[in-house]
Copies of this chain bind each other. A is one copy, B any other.
Amino acid sequence: MTINLVQRVCLGDLPTRATQQFPHRPAVVDGNAVLTYSELEARSNAAAAGLLDLGLHRGDVVAIMMPNCWEFLVTFFGCAKIGAVCMPVNTGLTAEGVAFQFDDARPAVVVVEESLVALLETALAAFPTTSSVQRVVTARADSPRSELAGIPVMPFAALIDATVPPVEVIVEDRDIAQCLYTSGTTSRPKAVLTSHVAVMMAALSTCVQFRHERGDSCSVFPIVLPLFHVTALNCLTLPVLLTGGTVVLHRSFDPNALLHDLAARQVTHLMLLPVMWGQLVDAAGKGAPGSENVRMAIYAMAPMSQQRLDEIREVFPNADVVLGSGQTEFTPPSVLQWPSHQWDKNASWGTAVITTDVRIMGPNGELLPRGQEGEIVYRGPQAMQGYGNNEAANTAAFTHGWFHSGDVGYLDDEGVLWFTDRIKDIVKSGGENVSSVEVERALLGHPDVADCAVVGMPDDRWGESVTAVVVPVPGRTIADDAIRSFAKEHLAGYKVPKRVVVVDGLPKTSTGKIQKHRVRAQLESRSQS
């Protein structure tokens, strides 16, 4: 079945449709810059035309290296309108990391914001694997340049300066809208390719889940998490723009800036990481003007304590506090913990979203009954199209007709999902499987331990030995023996770390995930030296 321009499911149509309804409403607030829907549409359309002028075709890749700014969203929609693949790059990468992604995804154009030009230049100059790049577009450059590492440069303003008729390209449902790399917790980053239909389904589903309403009671949502991650881009921003609301872009987390938003705008939604919620609640004290308008207080990463939830509810008395879980491969969220489960099932992940089927799978591909532990698997139209250039990973991810999350858990008799472990985080020691998460949780209970990672290291006797890498609370010292004694009090003997290594800090991704493969590498180099 072919489709036509009428029927297409294309993310580039979001600002077009919203502009017909709400041309003068603020769509994107970025500091002093306020883009109405009409302006967002005009600039996105101009960007689409500009990218076509640069010779881009449907399926070509455009890299975005930008912090949260309106140019990011204009580039995203511009790409979508012509069926180009948008590849937002994590701004925390090294030049080598950037070069790896460029080598893998082969972007033809890079749109870069001033603060990341030096990083891009290093990557382009030092790594021949970046040779796919034919043009660099620079946003907010103080002194525009004509070339970067030999590649011609144009200013962003020139990309979008034309007033052009609507760009109309047939985009198929399963054309790739975006390429986002996994954070590489356990292996080298993989390119997650997601289709227009998957992102659109996720956005519509999220409108229902997060209660975004069209019309007069539309949403105002400060976006603090980085747009280069799937959550801020697909799960937070797009549903707001689908329903005529306003996103307020922040470049970093500043509790006072958020308190200012609450007072100055009718903020309806907030989404922060647990540590940010703590700081915001502390900064708010008892009375944050405007906090009564917030109807959804969303967080991610892991369940928060009952006490922290209570503190949030006190500051935001009209908000549902909701925990969202998911992953890049399955356009989030997949599972939400609703207030109704926060009293008795506070440590769970909650229940599946309406467009996702969550099950538990045994080692041979069999779906397990309620209460039994196994791998968490998903089905639903929010699934990625696949990993790029990695057929082995695709086969593994979709085996037995379900998407394999790599997480272990169980569904209780109410269909509530309980996460218990990460599959790759099992230490196989002496014929027993030891959950790294369980050991980590135990060690974090020690008053001197600020952070820790548990990994399995090769061991002649045990196969793998349970190894703990711990970061002390500032000002404290940690003794190997004390930690092991403490662990013995809380864990079965075979789970007690054989070795405890004290370090100043753990390698983490920009979202705060511990990079276990780097922890292992550091331990290896340490034992070799």
A216: Cβ under 8 A from any B Cβ: yes
Q: Quote the shortest CB–CB distance from A374 to chain B (angstroms).
A: 15
Report copies per complex.
2
User: Contacting A208 at CB < 8 Å: which of B175, B214, B380, B402?
Assistant: B214
A interface size (C-beta, 8 A): 62
CB nearest neighbor in B for A340: B216
Q: Which of A198, A205, A216, A354 has the most CB of B within 10 A?
A: A354
A214 touches B17 (CB 8 A): no
Contacts of A403 in B (CB 8 A): 6
A351: Cβ under 8 A from any B Cβ: yes
User: Contacting A198 at CB < 8 Å: which of B7, B201, B359?
Assistant: B7
Contacts of A415 in B (CB 8 A): 20-21, 23
Docked pose: A308 CA to B268 CA in angstroms: 34
A264: Cβ under 8 A from any B Cβ: no
A4: Cβ under 8 A from any B Cβ: yes
A209: Cβ under 8 A from any B Cβ: yes
Docked pose: A242 CA to B205 CA in angstroms: 10
Docked pose: A29 CA to B500 CA in angstroms: 61
A213: Cβ under 8 A from any B Cβ: yes
Docked pose: A162 CA to B227 CA in angstroms: 50
Contacts of A6 in B (CB 8 A): 378-380, 383, 398, 401-403
A520: Cβ under 8 A from any B Cβ: no
Q: Quote the shortest CB–CB distance from A498 to chain B (angstroms).
A: 39
Tell me the A300-357 residues at the B interface (CB within 8 Å): 338, 340, 351-357
User: Contacting A7 at CB < 8 Å: which of B13, B172, B204, B383?
Assistant: B383
Q: Quote the shortest CB–CB distance from A312 to chain B (angstroms).
A: 20
Identify the 7 closest CB pairs spanning chains A and B, nearest first. Answer: A1-B174, A204-B204, A5-B401, A7-B383, A9-B381, A207-B208, A6-B383
